[in-house]
Amino acid sequence: MINVGDKLPDFKLTDHKGNVVDSKSLAGKGIIFGFHPLAYTGVCEKQMKQLEENYDYFKNLGYEVFGVSIDTSFSKNSWAKQIDINNVKMLADFWPHGGFAIKLGIFRGNEGFSERACLIINKQGIVKWTKIYDIPELPSIDEIKEQAKKATL
């Protein structure tokens, strides 16, 4: 698994609106990745909604905020509309299947999806915080906010 102090590996994914998002376009920006196993599931919905509800907080600290799963960009777009996600970019780690999660060491190969995880990356592209959660566990938004603030200091 990727560790604190590691450099974020290069990646190229499509967001829920069909835009390409890659490591080069995010150079010099802080990043929060909220990995969730699958769209259209209860805990994943709550996880994405709490990122959306706190989007301005993270943006004011200088972070781009992403929800990431193995679903297609079309599925992510439909789901984002359904659950009223307007600011958080929903990234599709669809093809190669789970490729980004595999690079990060958080892909559950026997199940075909990523761990539920949060990663905070600083403006230099260095991992400042990671946490893997049990699949049924909702990540603590207060903990994520605290860690994001610490990573900007």
Peptide bond preceding 96 in cis form (omega within 30 of 0): yes
For residue 80, pLDDT beyond 90:
yes
Structure-token pair, residue 98: 């789970």
Please give the CATH topology (third level) of the domain spanning 12-152: Glutaredoxin (3.40.30)
Exposure of 63 by Cβ count < 10 A (0-12 exposed, 13-18 middle, 19+ buried)?
Answer: buried
The yes-or-no verdict on residue 86 having pLDDT over 90 is yes
Write down the mean pLDDT value for the chain: 97
| CB neighbours of residue 18 within 10 Å | 10
CA distances for 91 relative to 112, 142, 143, angstroms: 16, 23, 22
pLDDT of residue 153: 73
CA 58 to chain centre: 13
Looking at the chain, list the stretches that DSSP marks H as alpha helix, in order from N- to C-terminal side.
42-53, 55-60, 73-82, 99-104, 141-152
Spans of all domains in the chain? 12-152
35-62 pLDDT per residue, tens: 999 999 999 999 999 999 999 999 999 9
End-to-end Cα distance, the chain: 25
Share of the chain above pLDDT 90, in %: 98
Looking at the predicted structure, is the pLDDT value of residue 133 above 80?
yes
